[in-house]
Amino acid sequence: MPAAPLPSPHAGFRLAWRIAGAMLCRLVLNMARRFVYPFAPVISRGLDVPLTAVTAMVATCQAAPLVGLVSGPLADRWGYRRMMIGGLALLALGMGAAAVWPTYAILTLAVVLASFGKTIYDPAIQAYVGARVPFERRGLVIGLLEFPWAGSTLIGLPLLGLLMDAGGWRMAPLSLSAAALVCLLLMVRLFAPDGPPPASAGRLLGTAWRALAARPEALGTLAFVFFFSVSNDALFIIYGAWLEGSFGLGLAALGMSTAVIGGAELLGEGLTVVAADRLGIKRSALLGAVLTMSAYLLLPMVSHSLAGALVGLFAIFAAFEFTIVNCLSLATEIVPGHRATMMSGFFVAAGLGRVCGALLGVPVWQAGGIRAMGLAAAAFTLVALLFLNRGLARWVR
C-alpha cells in the first residue's frame, strides 16, 4: 500500500518541521546511548568504581533491543506519537535521577532507561515516516533521520565533554535530562495526537509477529541485518587493538580514528540522502552490501601503512552505513500494516548480530590477524546479501 502523496504544500511544510524535530530528538537519544563509551574513565573516577564496572554497565544495555519485541506491536496499536513521547520520557526520567542521586546503581538504571527509550523511539519515528512519506522519497527522509547517529559522535559527545570538563561528570546526565524534556515538549507541540488504532494492527501482540513470519521478504530482511551486523561488529570490536598493536597508536590517536569512523558514517548517510531514491532503495541496498563486502576483502591489502588502514576502515564504515540506512528505508515498506513491528524486529536482529559479532571478533583476529578478520567479515556479508536477495526476489510494493 503506497503512501498517499502529501495533500498540500502546507502539509509538506509541517512534515518537514516534524522531521527536523525528530532529528533533534534522535541526536539526544544517541548521545545518551553512546556517552559512556568515551567517558568511561571519567565516570569510574567520579563514582569511585573500577573501570570494569562501567563496561559492565554498557554490556547491560545490549539487551535493550529486546524491548522492541513488545514496543513495536504496541506502537502499531497505540500510535507512533505516544511511543515516541514515552521513549523521551524514559530518557528524561533516568538521566534526571542520575543527576540528583549520582550513584553507580542509579546511573546504570539511567543508561538502561536511555537505551530502552531509544529502542521505543526509533521504530516509531521510522514507521511514522513510512506511513506519511511516499516511497519514492523515503530514502531521502530516512537518510536525514540517520544523520544524528554520526552527529552524536562528531558534535554531541565533544559538547558533553566540554560540559563535563567545566562541571564534572554529573553535567552529562543533567544536560541530557534537560535536553530530553525540551525534546518531549517539542514532540507534543509538533506532532498531532494519534487517532484510533488501524484495524490491521491486530488485537494481540502475537498477531503482528505472525504477520512478519508469514512474509519471506520480512524474514530475508531480518536475516540480512543479523549477518550484516555480525560482520561489522566483529571488526569494530578489534579495530582499536589492531591499530594499537600494528602501528603503536596511543589514546589520542585512537580517538582520532573514532573521528574517522564518524566521518565515514556521515558520508554514508549523505550518500543515502543524495542517491538512494534516484537509484532505487532496493537496488541501493543490494549494491551497498556488495561494496561493503568488497571493502572487507580489500582491507588486508591496504593495511601495510597507517594511512592505508584508516582509508580502508573509512571505506568499510561508509559502505556499511549507506547499506544499513537503505535497508531501514526498505523495511518501512515491507509490511505496511505492521511498520513499527517490522522496524523493532530490524533492531532486535541487528542487536543480536552485534552481540554475536563482538563474541566472534577477538577469536578470529587472534587466530589469523586482520587478513582472517577481513575474510570472515566478507563471508558474513555474503551470507547477508544472499538472504536479502532471496527474500526480496518476489517482493512487489
Q: List, as one string, the DSSP characters of 43-57.
A: HHHHHT--HHHHHHH
Amino acid 279: pLDDT: 87
Q: Give the confidence band of 206 by pLDDT, cuts at 50, 70, 90.
A: low
Residue 15: other Cβ atoms inside 10 A: 17
Amino acid 43: pLDDT: 84
Question: At residue 196, does pLDDT exceed 70?
Answer: no
Q: Are 73 and 148 in contact (CB under 8 A)?
A: no
Question: At residue 291, does pLDDT exceed 90?
Answer: yes
Average pLDDT, the chain: 84
Amino acid 87: pLDDT: 93
DSSP state of 133: S
DSSP state of 198: P
Residue 224 CA to residue 220 CA, distance in Å, equals 6
Q: List, as one string, the DSSP characters of 182-244.
A: HHHHHHHHHSPPP-SPPGGG-SSHHHHHHHHHT-HHHHHHHHHHHHHHHHHHHHHTTHHHHHH
Amino acid 338: pLDDT: 81
Question: At residue 207, does pLDDT exceed 90?
Answer: no
Question: At residue 335, does pLDDT exceed 60?
Answer: yes
Q: Are 325 and 269 in contact (CB under 8 A)?
A: yes
Q: Which residue has the cell 511498520?
A: 339
Q: Are 3 and 131 in contact (CB under 8 A)?
A: yes
Q: Are 193 and 81 in contact (CB under 8 A)?
A: yes
Amino acid 254: pLDDT: 61
* Helices (H), ranges, 251-391: 251-279, 281-302, 306-334, 339-391
Residue 38 CA to residue 309 CA, distance in Å, equals 22
Q: Regarding predicted confidence, which is higher, 18 or 259?
A: 18
Q: Tell me the CA distances in angstroms from 332 to 13, 175, 269, 379, one per residue in order.
A: 22, 32, 17, 27
Q: At what angle do helices 171-190 and 157-167 cross, to 10 degrees?
A: 130
Question: At residue 7, does pLDDT exceed 50?
Answer: no
Residue 240 CA to residue 39 CA, distance in Å, equals 16
CB under 8 Å to 171, separation ≥6 — which residues?
160, 163, 164
Cell numbers standing for residue 378: 566478507
CA dihedral 131, 137, 142, 147 (to 10 degrees): -150
Q: Are 298 and 108 in contact (CB under 8 A)?
A: no
Angle at 152 between CA 93 and CA 24, to 5 degrees: 65
Mean pLDDT of the 142-158 span? 84
Amino acid 394: pLDDT: 77
Amino acid 300: pLDDT: 92
pTM of the model: 0.79
Return the biggest CA–CA distance within the chain: 60
Q: Across the chain, how many H-helices and E-strands are there? A: 16, 0
Amino acid 212: pLDDT: 78
pLDDT tens digits for 220-229? Answer: 999 999 999 9
Question: By mean pLDDT, which of 24-33, 35-44, 278-287, 356-365 is the weakest?
Answer: 35-44
Mean pLDDT of the 150-171 span? 84
List the one residue out of 103, 92, 104, 78 whose CA is nearest residue 193: 78
Amino acid 21: pLDDT: 92
Q: Give the confidence band of 340 by pLDDT, cuts at 50, 70, 90.
A: confident
Mean pLDDT of the 374-379 span? 95
Q: Are 334 and 215 in contact (CB under 8 A)?
A: yes
Cell numbers standing for residue 14: 509541517
Q: Regarding predicted confidence, which is higher, 332 or 4?
A: 332
Question: By mean pLDDT, which of 130-134, 298-302, 309-313 is the weakest?
Answer: 130-134
Cell numbers standing for residue 256: 582520532
Question: At residue 200, does pLDDT exceed 60?
Answer: no
Residue 171, judged by CB atoms within 10 A of its CB (0-12, 13-18, 19+), counts as: middle
Q: Which domains does the chain have, with CATH numbers?
A: 9-197 (1.20.1250.20), 208-391 (1.20.1250.20)
Question: By mean pLDDT, which of 8-22, 136-150, 327-341 is the weakest?
Answer: 8-22
Cell numbers standing for residue 297: 576483502
CB under 8 Å to 49, separation ≥6 — which residues?
104
Amino acid 6: pLDDT: 45
Please report how many Cα atoms fall inside a 13 Å half-sphere around the Cα of residue 266, on the Cβ side: 13
Amino acid 153: pLDDT: 77
Q: Are 94 and 145 in contact (CB under 8 A)?
A: no
In the chain, % of residues over pLDDT 90 = 34
Question: At residue 391, does pLDDT exceed 60?
Answer: yes
Mean pLDDT of the 112-117 span? 91
Amino acid 202: pLDDT: 46
Q: Give the confidence band of 5 by pLDDT, cuts at 50, 70, 90.
A: very low
Question: At residue 245, does pLDDT exceed 50?
Answer: yes
DSSP state of 101: S
Q: Regarding predicted confidence, which is higher, 263 or 292?
A: 292
CB under 8 Å to 373, separation ≥6 — which residues?
234, 235, 238, 242, 299, 300, 361, 364, 365
Question: At residue 312, does pLDDT exceed 90?
Answer: yes
Q: Regarding predicted confidence, which is higher, 186 or 71?
A: 186
pLDDT tens digits for 96-108? Answer: 999 999 999 999 9
